[in-house]
Homo-oligomer: A and B are copies of this chain.
Amino acid sequence: MLDSIPSFARLVAELAKFPGVGKKTATRLAFSLLSRPQADAEALAEAVLDLHRNIGFCSVCFHMTEVDPCPICRDPARDERLLCVVEEPQDLLAIERSRSFRGRYHVLQGVLSPLDGIGPDDIRISELIRRLRKSAVEEVLIATNFTVEGDATALYLAEQIRPLNLRVTRLAHGIPTGSDLEFIDDATVHRAVEGRREL
């Protein structure tokens, strides 16, 4: 049906490459773009092209940035004794949104995953160790995800950092805010009980 409108079919195919976007959603998005002014399409295309053109990775922390070093690494108000290690830029943004951390970051750009062939040399671990050796960091907060791979990476990092005589911490496990105990998985409840604190 779309074969007779190749430009439309091609846009649908490109949009359907996004994770979680199927052919139906892609078609809906393409129709919406077609019904909007051409200037909207031009602005979108420009923004898409600027993404790779303007964004690179910080040579210090490997967060995505348009200037090197990135604004967080440059910010003198950040506490240089605190370093938070995350898997991806998304995770850094989540911690920034929480306004709970005023140190600096190190983005691993991945997670150890032997099954996918991703070992310590494939993510930014050696850069982290080198950075810690010549820095004022006193505490490394490991904020990898609470998945099998994230936990394994946290343990591996802790081992690598121990010889440097730094404090190594991990985000707290527990019940998320606003949740109903009844619907929380057993492993989380188990860890929340283990990690219980004095009131």
Chain B residues lying within 8 Å of A66, measured Cβ to Cβ, are 4-7
Whether A14 pairs with B43 at a CB distance below 8 angstroms is yes
Interface residue? A187 (CB, 8 A): no
Whether A44 pairs with B38 at a CB distance below 8 angstroms is no
Considering the complex, which residues of chain A in the window 42-68 have a beta carbon less than 8 Å from any beta carbon of chain B? 42-55, 64-66
Interface residue? A136 (CB, 8 A): no
Q: How far is the CA of A13 from the CA of B13 in the complex (A)?
A: 22
User: Which of A17, A19, A45 has the largest count of B CB atoms less than 10 A from its CB?
Assistant: A45
Is chain A's interface secondary structure helix, strand, loop, or mixed overall? helix
Q: Contacting A55 at CB < 8 Å: which of B1, B8, B44? A: B8
Q: How far is the CA of A15 from the CA of B21 in the complex (A)?
A: 13
Interface string of A72-91 (1 = CB under 8 A from B): 10000000000000001110
Which of the segments A23-31, A116-124, A161-169, A170-178 contacts the partner chain?
A: A23-31
A35 to chain B, nearest CB (A): 9
Whether B1 pairs with A97 at a CB distance below 8 angstroms is yes
Interface residue? A159 (CB, 8 A): no
Given contacts A30-B51, A34-B55, A45-B48, contact A64 B10 (CB under 8 A): no
17 A-B pairs with CB atoms under 8 Å apart are A4-B70, A4-B72, A7-B53, A8-B55, A10-B50, A14-B44, A14-B47, A18-B32, A20-B28, A21-B29, A27-B93, A31-B89, A33-B48, A41-B51, A42-B49, A45-B46, A48-B48
